[in-house]
Amino acid sequence: MDGWGCSVEENRRAWSTGNHDNDDRAINIGVINNSQGPNWTTSEAAVSATIDLCVDICIRNGISSLSWVNNGSTQGNMTAHSFFANKACPGPFLMDRMPSIRDTVNTRLTESRNQAAGVTAAANRLRDEGVINTPTFWINNFHAIQFLGGLIIAMANAPKNATPVTITTVDAAIDRLASRGILNSPQYWRDNQGRLEHLGELLIAVARRVP
């Protein structure tokens, strides 16, 4: 996925599906294709980012779970453009993935609810240790990227150096945290650290403190 952004604020109405009732209540997501029809495929990175976004939207808007009913009706709270207009959008590839996207989002929502207390304690500890200034930011946003909650908890539990080391780049921070067993899959965090404001700063701040 080469880029993402918000074209219309979530509390405003976007004329996206051409259906007044749907557009008046829906938060519409457009996903970049990496091929043309008839399948209109998207990259796995785009699907993963879409799942992250759905989790984030649900938590911020008090949606406890997603429901997908693929019959062209609005019985579920997940709908498709093709339900409201004579279009193939979003195409067969994503339509076939909708049940899996729904299930993954719902699993993540449950995990986020279960993890919230641990992240809250971890963020407050990082504040008390002078690593971060605003624990509320991380408490409210850890769900926006998969595995971030666990990483924040691991960061808070990591041993601390009395004298911070000199680290100035996110790549160096990720390498140090990986070598200390604080994070797994360094490439995942290189690919995703730019998707949440201040995440790179947090990685550097914690990496400077670990022995």
pLDDT digits (tens, 9 = 90+) for 66-122: 999 876 666 788 888 888 888 888 999 999 999 999 999 999 999 999 999 999 999
**CB atoms closer than 10 angstroms to residue 209:** 20
Residue 32 is encoded by which pair of tokens? Answer: 């970049």
| 78 bridge partner residues | 68
Tell me the domain boundaries of the chain: 20-108, 116-209
Cβ atoms 76, 66 nearer than 8 A: yes
Cβ atoms 41, 51 nearer than 8 A: no
Question: What gap in Å lies between CA 205 and CA 158, rounded to an integer?
Answer: 12
pTM (2 d.p.):
0.78
Using one digit for the tens of pLDDT, what is the confidence trace for 149-194?
999 999 999 998 888 899 999 999 999 999 999 999 999 999 999 9
What CA–CA distances, in Å, run from 201 to 104, 127, 141, 211? Answer: 29, 14, 15, 18
